[in-house]
């Protein structure tokens, strides 16, 4: 059977391979790194006047793009790091932090009060003062926007008075206070990753954005000419072609060796890299990786990140409406044994995907060794023991449109049919709406780019606005999921993870498939990188020592 599938997958992969992108508020690839399935594209127009120290980037855009990036959705990437700043700057591990806009910070012994003192004399790119009031305004606005990365809503929802501020029953956000250059943030309950999230949170200028409806902020024309706080500001915007970034004369930090950044709008990153129009690409697309490895100028830097792929089981909504097919845990377990996840990972994402058996990756010391190795006979036995109705049409929902995901779904259907199940795959045209609202499926294919492992377990909480519609508001995970989100001590987190992992495997509400790594490609023929540089998750802000990057060709 495995030989048959190897032949089958080779044929399907020969047809097409495209990037697997993360949809929704859980995060997505950074703007310079978003691959496209297009294989062609004309050379972009060039800005006038050569600049010796010019770093070239590219963003894949279909249509006439005329905006820079929105930093509260995907904060990572070079262009955003060049133009915006946070109170603190994280290291490559996204855990240790150093001051950025803040000159110092303190945390109370109970982990509930965070105090930040801003540097003196900070300025926006338009010359206006950057103040603690901008920080307060930014936090208040984030709690009311319609589009942002989930790490912010998860963390800021713990700020004292956040719910009342968000629903309009309070005129002020109680937990954020300003006194001169000092910002004090008080939480209702501790949140272990709060400092790390602050290191991702870009501050916006109140004077330039307060008139924008928060619900429309991410799409506003403001992003065509934003006011910035970083080492660079917008230079020229050529709609549909490129925008340039030039040094911000109001930046008080160390000047960069790079003196201009060009970000091209392109239909395809591979072609852009081949033409020398981007020096930086972040990707998990096997096709893109293969093509970039052919370029002598591009050096690959593998990055290990928590990018989960998994099935969610449509169990029960908070309305009490159960899906009888998925109630028996033996059925859920049988699905894992029925699928040769190792072969799929190897064939679809060579050297990128790692099979997992819980939210705790197998490489973690907390991993308990429980595995669901491919065993179709065991899958059949479990289905029979569960009294599974083999005449039922088992429905698999997915919302990805790339060819790789389509091929993957066909492979899953093949494996399940091999153990006697009748299977139908359904490609949703409504994104995640069909997962959480329509719910006309048995298992749904999903992705999560997790900032920390606590995000994975947060999906089990009974109060999760989305997953309570799938797991019926089950409360048995609540205490441990709250603990892992709040705990900062590594030893205590380890013990909590072990308990969560056991509880997760007893229930199997989510069927883990694999984590997918990421690869950075940098044109080291054109860019001299600082010695000892370390790269982290490209989807988030971290210190890449960008001020010491140097253009050499």
Cα–Cα distance between 287 and 273 in angstroms, integer? 14
Cα–Cα distance between 544 and 301 in angstroms, integer? 13
This prediction has a pTM of: 0.79
**424: β partners:** 395
Pairing of strands 298-303, 518-523: antiparallel
The token pair at 222 is 């403001």
Cα 545–chain centre separation = 22
pLDDT for 50: 59
pLDDT for 194: 94
Cα–Cα distance between 316 and 335 in angstroms, integer? 18
β-sheet with 510-516: strand ranges across: 353-355, 510-516, 307-313, 443-449, 393-398, 422-427
Identify the CATH homologous superfamily for domain 28-82+230-303+520-553: Periplasmic binding protein-like II (3.40.190.10)
Q: How far is CA 263 from CA 77, 124, 301, 404, 523, in A?
A: 11, 22, 21, 28, 15
Query: For the chain, which residues make up each domain, given as ranges?
Result: 28-82+230-303+520-553, 306-516
Neighbours of 164 (CB within 10 A): 14
pLDDT for 220: 94
Angle, helices 403-418 vs 2-15, to 10°: value is 160
Contact present, 334 and 386 (Cβ < 8 Å): yes
Q: Which of 323, 308, 284 is nearest to 435 (CA)?
A: 323
Helix or strand or coil: residue 55?
Answer: strand
Kind and range of the H or E run holding 457: helix 453-458
Cα–Cα distance between 249 and 262 in angstroms, integer? 18
Cα–Cα distance between 114 and 135 in angstroms, integer? 13
Cα–Cα distance between 149 and 491 in angstroms, integer? 28
* Tokens 């600049």, residue located: 51
pLDDT for 229: 97
**To 5 degrees, how large is the angle CA 460–CA 312–CA 287?**
120
pLDDT for 146: 87
pLDDT for 32: 38
The single-letter DSSP state of residue 435 is I
Q: Enumerate residues 6+ apart whose C-beta is below 8 A from 465.
A: none
pLDDT along the chain (553 residues), means of 10: 41 32 33 35 56 90 80 91 97 92 96 97 98 98 90 91 94 97 95 93 98 94 96 94 96 95 93 95 87 95 91 90 95 98 90 93 94 98 98 94 84 97 92 84 92 90 87 93 89 95 97 93 96 91 96 88
CATH 3.30.2270.10 at 306-516, yes or no: no
Helix or strand or coil: residue 177?
Answer: strand
Contact present, 217 and 223 (Cβ < 8 Å): no
């Amino acid at each position: 059977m495995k030989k048959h599938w190897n032949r089958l997958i080779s044929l399907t992969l020969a047809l097409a391979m495209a990037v697997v992108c993360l949809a929704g508020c859980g995060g997505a690839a950074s703007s310079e790194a978003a691959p496209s399935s297009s294989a062609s594209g004309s050379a972009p127009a060039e800005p006038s006047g050569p600049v010796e120290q010019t770093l070239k980037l590219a963003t894949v855009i279909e249509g006439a793009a005329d905006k820079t990036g929105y930093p509260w959705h995907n904060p990572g990437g070079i262009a955003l790091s060049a133009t915006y700043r946070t109170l603190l700057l994280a290291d490559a591990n996204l855990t240790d932090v150093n001051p950025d806009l803040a000159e110092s910070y303190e945390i109370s012994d109970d982990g509930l009060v965070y105090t930040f003192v801003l540097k003196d004399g900070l300025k926006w790119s338009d010359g206006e003062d950057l103040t603690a009031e901008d920080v307060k305004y930014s936090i208040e606005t984030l709690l009311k926007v319609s589009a942002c990365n989930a790490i912010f809503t998860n963390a800021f929802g713990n700020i004292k008075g956040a719910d009342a501020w968000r629903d309009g029953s309070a005129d002020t956000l109680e937990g954020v206070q300003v006194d001169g250059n000092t910002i004090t943030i008080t939480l209702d309950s501790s949140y272990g990753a709060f400092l790390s999230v602050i290191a991702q949170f870009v501050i916006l200028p109140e004077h330039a954005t307060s008139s924008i409806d928060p619900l429309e902020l991410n799409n506003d024309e403001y992003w065509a000419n934003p006011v910035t706080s970083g080492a660079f500001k917008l230079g020229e915007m050529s709609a549909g072609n490129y925008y340039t970034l030039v040094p911000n004369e109001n930046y008080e930090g160390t000047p960069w060796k790079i003196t201009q950044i060009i970000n091209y709008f392109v239909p395809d990153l591979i072609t852009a890299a081949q033409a020398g129009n981007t020096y930086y690409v972040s990707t998990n697309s096997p096709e893109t990786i293969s093509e970039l490895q052919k370029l002598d100028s591009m050096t690959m830097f593998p990055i290990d990140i928590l990018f989960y792929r998994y099935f969610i089981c449509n169990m029960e909504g908070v309305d009490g409406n159960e899906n009888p097919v998925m109630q028996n845990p033996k059925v859920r377990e049988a699905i894992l044994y029925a699928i040769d996840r190792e072969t799929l990972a190897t064939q679809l994402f060579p050297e990128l995907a790692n099979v997992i058996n819980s939210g705790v990756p197998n490489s973690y010391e907390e991993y308990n060794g429980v595995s669901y190795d491919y065993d179709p006979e065991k899958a059949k036995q479990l289905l029979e023991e569960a009294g599974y109705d083999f005449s039922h049409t088992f429905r698999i929902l997915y919302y990805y449109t790339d060819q790789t995901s389509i091929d993957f779904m066909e492979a899953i259907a093949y494996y399940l049919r091999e153990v006697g199940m009748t299977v139908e795959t359904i490609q949703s045209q409504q994104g995640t709406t069909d997962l959480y609202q329509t719910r006309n499926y048995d298992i749904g294919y999903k992705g999560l780019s997790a900032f920390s492992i606590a995000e994975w377990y947060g999906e089990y909480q009974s109060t999760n606005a989305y997953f309570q519609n799938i797991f019926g508001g089950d409360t048995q995970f609540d205490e441990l999921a709250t603990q892992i989100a709040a705990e900062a001590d590594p030893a205590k987190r380890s013990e909590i993870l072990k308990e969560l992992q056991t509880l997760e495997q007893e229930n199997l509400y989510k069927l883990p498939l694999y984590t997918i790594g990421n690869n950075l490609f940098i044109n080291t023929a054109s860019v001299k990188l600082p010695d000892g540089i370390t790269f982290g998750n490209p989807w988030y802000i971290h210190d890449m020592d960008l001020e010491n990057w140097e253009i050499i060709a």
